[in-house]
């Protein structure tokens, strides 16, 4: 378990890197929809890209307390980057560690740690909140499987090395259930196309994927044939923790820059920080930030103890993501008209925060998961 000194050291290393390399260029990347190629080597070097990958596979071997720090600091500085790392680690690397064979770990984890990223291909045009409606197929053929279908909104879907493709396994014409396939992005028949014009995460890689007769070998199956939903749901538990921590980072940053702005900006002869209604906005943000912190503390405690914590993770995901939108929105309010232009980061924070209540299970889906775990009744 990482000590508090180690966690503080990690936080200041990432903050220093973010202040030097990420924050000064984030606005321009956002404007240009420019992928952060130039930042990846530095993030690999300080151990962020492979944060939770064990050292034997070239990663930094951080525990979940350290992982939370990484996600918070990236979320605070640039959510497009946070999303890229969060999918690489939360949805892919951790999943390969949990479900992969020794060969799969050897094949993919060193690449993921080096910044040859992983992607998670669950969502389809007709199957979002309900992935069991998916139609992508993997038909058994000699020596492997033939994948056909399409996926949408896949983070790291064109810039990565591997995508976890979820598809229905068909053996001798019989549907054996949703299965996860570790699919190289350079496989013949795999085409990733960037989706442009997003509200936020504009410098991230979000792709539509066409699978047209992609052949993968038998050893590409992650977990068991028919066990794909187990793989997906356990990965989403990890991914939602990453996302909750990243969103908490947005909320915290929104508050910090708002306090600073309110202290400097003067109207009616005093800093606006002295106005009661501005303080109300700041106080509301502070309450959200503290509540996020408490929820994440609970998740980390359970994870470090090796306990299952789907309820706590969904609770944190729901609250922290909604809080990030509220805090970023209030930050725009505190900044007045200046909050609406990209001279200040708060408009980007609001646009970036907005997707967090949508992906990895919408807020409605989190309410339904929490309700089901509390009552045993399925209301989907
Ligand atoms: C930028 C971005 C990146 C993404 N990255 C990935 C990725 O890497 N991998 C991946 O697989 N997917 C990814 N996604 C997809 C994302 O997870 C889905 O968009 C999300 O799960 C919602 O699915 P949908 O868009 O089809 O919406 P729908 O499922 O059609 O939902 C539309 C609305 O209906 C509501 N709704 C649906 N069912 C219910 C219900 N039973 N009760 C109440 N309300 C309901 C939803 O809450 C929502 O408000 C990404 C999306 C975006 C925008």
What three-state secondary structure class fits 188? Answer: coil
Length of the chain equals: 380
Q: Which residues fall within 8 angstroms of residue 100, CB to CB, at 6 or more apart?
A: 108, 222
Contact indicator for 74, 18 with CB cutoff of 8 Å: yes
- What are the E-state strand segments in 86-185? 118-121, 137-141, 144-155, 162-171, 174-184
Q: Which residues of the chain have pLDDT under 50?
A: none
Contact indicator for 65, 1 with CB cutoff of 8 Å: yes
In this prediction, residue 305 carries a pLDDT of 97
In this prediction, residue 260 carries a pLDDT of 98
Q: What is the per-residue DSSP string for 217-269? A: EGGGEES-TT-HHHHHHHHHHHHHHHHHHHHHHHHHHHHHHHHHHHHH-EETT
Separation CA 234–CA 214 (nearest Å): 26
User: Over the stretch 308-318, which tens digit does the pLDDT of each residue have?
Assistant: 999 999 999 99
In this prediction, residue 241 carries a pLDDT of 98
Pocket test for ligand 1, best of 119, 153, 195, 365 (most atoms within 8 A of CB): 153
In this prediction, residue 200 carries a pLDDT of 98
In this prediction, residue 19 carries a pLDDT of 98
The two three-digit tokens of residue 40, written as one number? 């990846």
Contact indicator for 51, 59 with CB cutoff of 8 Å: yes
In this prediction, residue 344 carries a pLDDT of 96
Domains and CATH numbers, the chain: 4-116 (1.10.540.10), 120-227 (2.40.110.10), 230-375 (1.20.140.10)
Residues with CB under 6 Å of ligand 1 are 87, 120-123, 128-129, 153-155, 198, 201, 206, 355, 358-360, 362, 364-365, 380
- Cβ atoms within 10 A of the Cβ of 172, count? 7
Q: How many helices (H) and strands (E) does the chain have?
A: 12, 10
């Amino acid at each position: 378990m990482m000590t508090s000194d180690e966690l503080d050291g990690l936080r200041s290393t990432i903050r220093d890197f973010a202040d030097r390399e990420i924050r000064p260029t984030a606005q321009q990347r956002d404007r240009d929809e420019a992928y952060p190629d130039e930042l990846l080597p530095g993030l690999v070097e300080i151990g962020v890209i492979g944060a939770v990958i064990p050292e034997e596979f070239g990663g930094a071997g951080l525990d979940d307390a350290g992982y939370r720090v990484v996600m918070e600091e990236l979320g605070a500085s640039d959510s497009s980057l946070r999303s890229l790392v969060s999918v690489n680690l939360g949805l892919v690397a951790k999943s390969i560690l949990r479900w992969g064979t020794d060969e799969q770990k050897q094949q993919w984890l060193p690449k993921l740690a080096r910044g040859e990223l992983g992607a998670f291909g669950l969502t389809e045009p007709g199957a979002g909140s309900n992935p069991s409606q998916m139609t992508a197929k993997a038909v058994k053929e000699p020596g492997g499987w033939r994948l056909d279908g399409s996926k949408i909104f896949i983070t790291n879907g064109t810039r990565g090395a591997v995508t976890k493709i979820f598809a229905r396994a068909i053996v001798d014409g019989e549907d054996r259930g949703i299965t996860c396939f570790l699919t190289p992005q350079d496989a013949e028949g795999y085409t990733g196309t960037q989706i442009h014009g997003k509200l936020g995460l504009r410098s991230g890689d979000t792709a539509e994927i066409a699978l047209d007769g992609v052949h993968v070998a038998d050893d590409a199956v992650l977990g068991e044939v028919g066990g794909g939903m187990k793989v997906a749901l356990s990965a989403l538990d990890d991914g939602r923790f990453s996302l909750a921590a990243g969103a908490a980072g947005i909320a915290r940053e929104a508050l910090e820059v708002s306090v600073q702005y309110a202290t400097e900006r003067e109207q009616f002869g005093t800093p606006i920080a002295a106005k009661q209604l501005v303080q109300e906005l700041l106080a509301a943000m502070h309450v959200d930030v503290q509540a996020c912190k408490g929820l994440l503390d609970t998740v980390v405690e359970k994870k470090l103890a090796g306990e299952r914590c789907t309820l706590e993770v969904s609770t944190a995901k729901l609250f922290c993501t909604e809080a990030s939108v509220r805090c970023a929105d209030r930050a725009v309010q505190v900044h007045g008209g200046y909050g609406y232009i990209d001279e200040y980061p708060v408009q980007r924070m609001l646009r970036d925060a907005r997707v967090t209540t949508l992906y990895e299970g919408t807020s409605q889906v989190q309410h339904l998961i929490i309700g089901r775990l509390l009552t045993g009744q399925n209301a989907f």
